[in-house]
Amino acid sequence: MTTVVEESFGKNPIINDSLEGNASSEISIEADSKQEIPGDDKKAIQKRSFWNLFVFSISYLLLFTGFWTLSTLQSTMNALEGIGDYSQAVIYVCSTVSCILLPTFMIGKFGCKNILLFGAVTCVLCMASNMFLRWDTLMVGAVLYGVANGPFIASQAFYIDEMATRFLTTVEGQSEFIMALFFGLFMFFGQSTQIWGNLISYYVLRSDRPAPSPLNSTDCGINFRPSVNDTNRNLDPPTENQRFLLVGIYVGMGCVAIFVLGIFLEPLRNDLQETKGCRTILDRLLSSFKFLRDPVRILLIPLSVYIGMEGPFYTNEVTQVS
């Protein structure tokens, strides 16, 4: 049984832009104006905050170990007609639109924990679509996860922020340190997904064939030709059994993550809010454009574009070359 975290949306920038007039006046809290909390209650709040952070981080580790690894393998595992690369493009195109329009409305309508659960389910379905090398299954899985990804990402940041804010009510000052600590602990688990995912894929996909004899070839690096597979045995697609085993392991880990989230993660007390449907979505879109009125914020756009281009480059071209 899970208990309810007695916290609110507070001043979380992810969703407060358009809920400001609706609910924040009723439920907002100020971290600076702390009420006196008994010592035993402080310890209980701190333990529950760290417990929820741990549960959430473990769930993220289990879920995204498979997702990030399969994303990296798309250019080799699903190289036929570029289906893997196209599926990744569909995910991030849908995710871009979703991030602009849906987080405020979806989190306010269904609650943070429910969005986390729904996002995890769509992520598992997206991973499961890699069982078969088919356009329809991969594209449906990509669209489904891409649409859910905007609210999913926002709810992740929102939940961690709420746990850190809740912890702050038990200590004096140190707000920046506590925020950095909570997000740092989460990223420790998040960054390790690549380690465990690559280890699993290595042991599942490794070949029993002897290593090929050395070949004096300059078809590497900038001279690499993707259409020529003679000099790179690593581009051989996995067998059907290897595909089923690898994807099955990742899907199984994702299902465990959903179970952990559903059973052990505490929902927020104010998880459900009244929203105004399409009006909220319109407000979210307008607030995104208002955000760009600040010249300093506009300077973040080239950095975002660079990061967006860097990720696919490493997960596709560099993976294929190596």
Classify 268 as helix, strand or coil: strand
146 vs 122: CA distance, rounded Å: 9
Q: Determine the 3-state secondary structure of 292 from DSSP.
A: coil
Largest CA distance in the chain: 73
Q: What is the DSSP string of 104-139?
A: HHHHHHH-HHHHHHHHHHHHHHHHHGGGS--HHHHH
Question: What is the pLDDT at residue 123?
Answer: 96
pLDDT beneath 70, residues of the chain: 1-40, 208-236, 270-292, 308-322
Nearest-angstrom CA–CA distance, 250 and 242 = 12
| Residues composing the chain | 322
CA distance 115 to 107: 7
Cβ atoms of 287 and 18 closer than 8 Å: yes
State the pLDDT at residue 293. Answer: 73
pTM of structure = 0.74
Residue corresponding to tokens 């995104």: 288
Dist. CA 289–CA 55, nearest whole Å: 35
What is the structure's pLDDT at 240? 85
pLDDT of residue 20: 42
**What is the structure's pLDDT at 113?**
92
Could you tell me which residues are beta bridge partners of residue 310?
A: none
Question: What is the pLDDT at residue 289?
Answer: 63
